[in-house]
Structure 1
Amino acid sequence: MSPSTLPLKTVEWIVYQVYLSCLSQFNTYSSGCDQHFCSPAMPCVGAQALLAPMFCLRLVDSTWNAAVKNFQDSIREVFFSRVEDGYYPHTWHINTRVRKSVLLSRYRVFRTIASEEGTWLRSRGVYLAYDIGGAQGCANPAQVIIKTWAVASDFECQREVAAYRALGGADPCPGVPVPRVAAAAYDAVCDVHALVLPKLGPTLEDLRALLPNNRFDARMVLVVAIEMANIHARGLIHSGIKPGNICIAPRGSADAPSRLYAIDFGFSFALDTNSPLPSAHRIDAVGNRRFMSVFAHHGISQSQRDDLESLAYLLSYLFHSQLPWDGPIKQNGTSRSRSPPQQQHVWRLKIATPAAVLFRDMDECFHEFWRDVKALAYAEVPDYDKMRARFADCLAEYNKAASPCGWWDIWNECSQ
């Protein structure tokens, strides 16, 4: 008997029974996948094979097709396997939204890295997810980073998506590599705007926390300087340089062992090459106040010189584990925390801090780099080749007595 001759409700009951029968095969599935992170509404390749009896008639029988569609819609928020639990009391919360379905039809969120509640218009989050849309489905899913925003008009959403589109995910080198964008789209089911990026290695801040005295040695700082010196090769001002926005390459990747990736372009903007002077209007100060340039504190339009000034502060911070304007460390029982600096006076301290203090006990090449950066005019193109060559010559002297710096080797050694 054809399903078309039966009432829709009856066919829906049959579909449900077929679904239950398919579920019984999950533990004996020949691919060796013992759990599926996908859902009946958005199954992975392996789950599609198991659910084939449900789907085989969809193209030839309209009643069966309607019954399967109604069944999938009714259990859209049901998953075959559980992942890490996260309790969110409000259905409108962005954490709840990204976990209600398979995001963009192929990404299953399983961990919240960070999220901002705020108002609905300011709701955003960063998540770790399984990519179940690959050739092996849930059997061997890659992990990805997903950044989501509640509304497309979110300032950081617009800046970040525009930046990655401008960068194109390519790595022609020269230039600091950026992760390739896997997807950037609106998900109607979860009602969020999502940007999907590959999962990279730890950040420099993560690595610094493992090192003795929380300090990079001179050779490691030189590698960071060489990798980051050409950050503007594609015409973007980052405006958010800090250790937490620089990642090492993924473990086992084909990249050089010293390769670093710049991330988080939420405050970035394209350099206006047609304007030789800063804007006459004050702009909002964005970025981390510990690392932002003096001009950024005053709302003056930023250019290459500002990012390079931030890079100089970063290099000093990695070597000394603090900056001259950081507050003193306070001991609270067994924990230690640094009290925040008086934000309104940070720019004064930056102006008053000479290179001899900022780069104390560091090689002369850092002092020369600082002099070049402070001599730059607005929108003047820095001599990146000269900067990198200077750092490379200094690094070569260190490498005569040691093997080249590999971030994962350092990470493994410090993690033991």
Structure 2
Amino acid sequence: MSPVTLSPTSVERIVYHVYDISCLPQFNTPGCGKHVCSPATPCKVARELLAPLSALRLVASSWNTAVQNFRQAMRETFFSRVEDGYYPHPWHINTRVRKAVLLARYRVFRTIQTEAGSRGVYVAYDFGGSAGCAGACEVVVKAWVAASDFECQREVAAYRALGTCPGVPAPRVAGALHDPLCDVHALVLPKLGPTLEDLRALLPDKRFDTRMVLTVAIQMIDRYRNIHARGLVHSGIKPGNICLAPPGSADAPSMLYAIDFGFSSALDANAPLPSAHRIDAVGNRRFMSVFAHHGISQSQRDDLESLAYLLSYLFHARLPWDSDGTAGARSHSRPPPAKQQQQPHVWRVKIATPAAVLFRDMDACFHEFWRDVKGLAYAEVPDYDGMRARFSACLMALEEGKAPISWWDIWKEVGGGR
């Protein structure tokens, strides 16, 4: 009997068929196909099924050619399938992170935020476990084109300093690792629950009630106590940077996480005065402290001042200095549009706004908190216990006979996740 000769096209079909049958029926993610890995970087299950075919490459040139052609053909399929609408320029980070599987196990499938084409935040599948794609879980990937990006350096340094700080997500990889195929530096974090801004947007009147604001105040004082104790100033508070605990986690239902340390800075507890050199004024202009607007080095009091602005915003759904164009501002150093040049600077409105306006219709404990914060000297250690105790006493009086706040229950009540 004469040997059977297979054409390269036939071999490609066999390779494709083996890869296709390795898809597990219990894993069926809408819009992503059965597998989230790629032929060039297969998951554990696909790799084991493809191993015999890969071995044939060593003894049969037709198999070697077929596998190479298969991977090349599937690369474009993989790229277009995962991205509904990608940025067309190859230099843009949105295009780069979808060029291949990041760090051999993370497949990006949704963009959370991208900026200037050089940095971005994404959601990805992690298929690196023993179950392969069947056990893939979602993670958050922060990526930068250049390792010298100041946000990349600050973020990596912050997570190293924070370690296992309660209420702060612990990175899944050490630092921002470089992926040579995508040519980006990636920091992988666990995927948390929705943000306070997501929750606020679903509330009927777009604002939190007093119990909810008090719970945020207590939680964030705890977060900042731990962050400051590790020698770090957050400088990044806003509703979009506070997340609910991951669904199904062992954390308390009222647990909140602080994220985004790209604007953080080291806290010099031994310095009696701010630095004589002006620092870059970066951050969200709505919530940054007055001193931050002027480039004065930050300390504990600045984080707590920003927290006070956040509490006022959550209760009133706006701040006294809000106007068109300030809501999405990210950096004070970025000039506003020409039509806004006649508006007063945000820091001037902040200085001129009394506590009676900032905390209008709010409990007296918020006024007392503001008084204590504004009385802090540079790098002075705040009385976290005293601040927290006042908020706790007010919350206990309001919760008499009621169950404590559960963020996930509120999220479900307002239709989150539908």
- Where 2:291 maps in the other structure, the secondary structure is helix
Q: 2:189 aligns with which of 194, 197, 200?
A: 197
Deviation at 1:399, TM superposition (A): 1.4
- Where 2:201 maps in the other structure, the secondary structure is helix
Distance 1:391-1:181 versus aligned 2 partners, 3 A rule: same
Deviation at 1:356, TM superposition (A): 1.5
Match of 1:180?
Answer: 170
1:44-63 alignment, distance < 5 Å: 44-56=43-55
Matched residues in 1 for 2:319 and 2:405: separation? Answer: 24
On the 8 A contact 1:36/1:80 being kept in 2, the answer is no
TM-score when normalising by structure 2: 0.84
TM-score when normalising by structure 1: 0.85
Q: How many residues end up aligned between the 2 structures?
A: 387
Distance 1:224-1:97 versus aligned 2 partners, 3 A rule: same
Deviation at 1:74, TM superposition (A): 4.3
Match of 1:367?
Answer: 367
1:15-94 alignment, distance < 5 Å: 16=12, 19-23=15-19, 25-26=21-22, 35-56=34-55, 74=72, 77-78=75-76, 82-94=81-93
Q: 1:132 aligns with which of 115, 120, 127?
A: 127
1:149-228 alignment, distance < 5 Å: 149-168=144-163, 170-171=164-165, 173=166, 177-183=167-173, 184-228=176-220
Aligned letter for 2:322?
D
Matched residues in 2 for 1:76 and 1:308: separation? Answer: 52
On the 8 A contact 1:40/1:75 being kept in 2, the answer is no
Q: 1:297 aligns with which of 278, 288, 293?
A: 293
* Greater mean deviation of Cα atoms: 348-357 or 199-208: 348-357
1:249-260 alignment, distance < 5 Å: 249-260=245-256
Matched residues in 2 for 1:397 and 1:412: separation? Answer: 25
Aligned letter for 2:252?
A
Matched residues in 1 for 2:386 and 2:69: separation? Answer: 64
Matched residues in 2 for 1:125 and 1:18: separation? Answer: 38
On the 8 A contact 1:282/1:301 being kept in 2, the answer is yes
User: Runs of 5+ in structure 1 lacking a partner?
Assistant: 1-9, 330-338
User: Runs of 5+ in structure 2 lacking a partner?
Assistant: 1-5, 326-338
Matched residues in 1 for 2:414 and 2:340: separation? Answer: 28
- Where 1:197 maps in the other structure, the secondary structure is strand
On the 8 A contact 1:25/1:50 being kept in 2, the answer is no
Matched residues in 2 for 1:242 and 1:341: separation? Answer: 25
Identity score, percent:
67
Deviation at 1:321, TM superposition (A): 0.9
Match of 1:358?
Answer: 358
**In the TM superposition, what whole-angstrom CA distance separates every residue of 1:332-388 from its partner, at most 9, and x where no partner exists?**
xxxxxxx98977522122112111111111111111111111110001111111211
Deviation at 1:115, TM superposition (A): 1.3
Runs (4 or more) in structure 1 with deviation over 4 Å come to 10-18, 29-34, 60-76, 78-81, 339-344
| Cα RMSD for the two superposed structures | 2.9
Matched residues in 2 for 1:66 and 1:166: separation? Answer: 48
**In the TM superposition, what whole-angstrom CA distance separates every residue of 1:289-322 from its partner, at most 9, and x where no partner exists?**
1111111111111100011000001001111111
Matched residues in 1 for 2:132 and 2:144: separation? Answer: 26
Deviation at 1:126, TM superposition (A): 1.1
Deviation at 1:197, TM superposition (A): 0.9
- Where 2:403 maps in the other structure, the secondary structure is coil
